[in-house]
Each structure stands twice: as structure tokens, then as C-alpha cells.
Amino acid sequence: MTSRSDAVVLIGPMGAGKTSIGKKAARALGVPFFDTDIAIVRDHGPIEQLFAEHGEEHFRALEREAVVEGLSQGGIVSLGGGAVLHPATRADLGAHRVILLTVAPKVVAGRVRDSARPLLRGEDAMARWSAILEERMPVYRSLADATFDTSSGPLQHIVDAIVEWIREQPRSADPEEAR
């Protein structure tokens, strides 16, 4: 039996720690790490500039390309908070183990303060963050195989728990082979 994928995908809201945790988990597992936001910046320039010059729709198309690239590489793949809004991305995630990282609003406030994130610009960034989270949480929950909260405790404890979960989870069988 072969696996459908050896990718483990991190999803969740802005400021949940997907990049920091993803890098550390990948290092612990000895697998590649891919972050869609980092790939977009590498290939196309700063995200806030992309939003300003081309709009959110253009950014989401670039994000979709980055998701496809990351999933094809395997390892640990960190998705930008809104990547799950694309129907093709949601469909693709069915072939992967998906971890939702959550964070309490009081904790994320310090993480996103003075952020250059385009969706959080303006006076009340936390109100916007909360509204975005409320809108996206049903999608996150529907996609997740496991959920880890990043609000408290040493980061390494969260990474260790995620690495343990990954090691304990068998890769799903290819549905074509199971027939």
C-alpha cells in the first residue's frame, strides 16, 4: 500500500505560528519545509505590495500556485491563512494530513501588532482578525485531522506534540488502490 501523500499541511489564522512551528517540526522530522507566503515573496515580491498593486484576487492566484508547488514537494507545508478559501486547495487537502493551529485572540494581538499584513491594516486590526477568523474557522475545522493550540506553553512543547502526532498517524491509503 502506498501513501497518498507524505505532506503534512499546517493551516490556521494569521499569527497562529504556522511558519515558526512548521520550520521546527520539519527539522525534527528531517523533511523539507515549504511556506506558501515565503514562496510568494521569493517569486513575486512583498505580499503587501502585491495586494496594493494587483489586488487580492491576483494574490490568491499566486497563492494557489504556491500551494500546488508546496504540496508536490511533500514534507511540512505551511499555508497562508486564506489559502483554504480556494476550492481546489480544499479539494487537494483531502490527500494530505492537515493540522489546524489555533491561537487565542489575546495572544495573537501581540503577534500581529504593527503588522504589514494587508488584511489587518488600519485602526482596529484585532476586530478584523476576529472577523476573518470567524468566517474561516468552519473551513479550517472541516479540513483538519488534528488541532493544536499555540496560545501558551513553550513553542518547543507544541512542536514536540505535533511531531509525535505526525509520527503516530499512518499515511492514508491511495483510494484508487483500495478499490
Amino acid at 49: Q
Q: What is the pLDDT of residues 61-117, one digit of tens each?
A: 999 999 999 999 999 999 998 999 999 999 999 999 999 999 988 777 665 555 555
pTM listed for this prediction: 0.85
Pick from 36, 12, 38, 34: nearest CA to 23: 34
- 55: helix, strand or coil: helix
Fold of 7-167: Rossmann fold (3.40.50)
Give the model's confidence band at 175: pLDDT under 50 very low, under 70 low, under 90 confident, else very high: very low
Q: Tell me 58's DSSP state.
A: H
Residue ranges of domains in the chain: 7-167
Q: What is the pLDDT of residues 5-34, one digit of tens each?
A: 579 999 999 888 999 999 999 999 999 999
- How many residues can be counted in the chain? 179
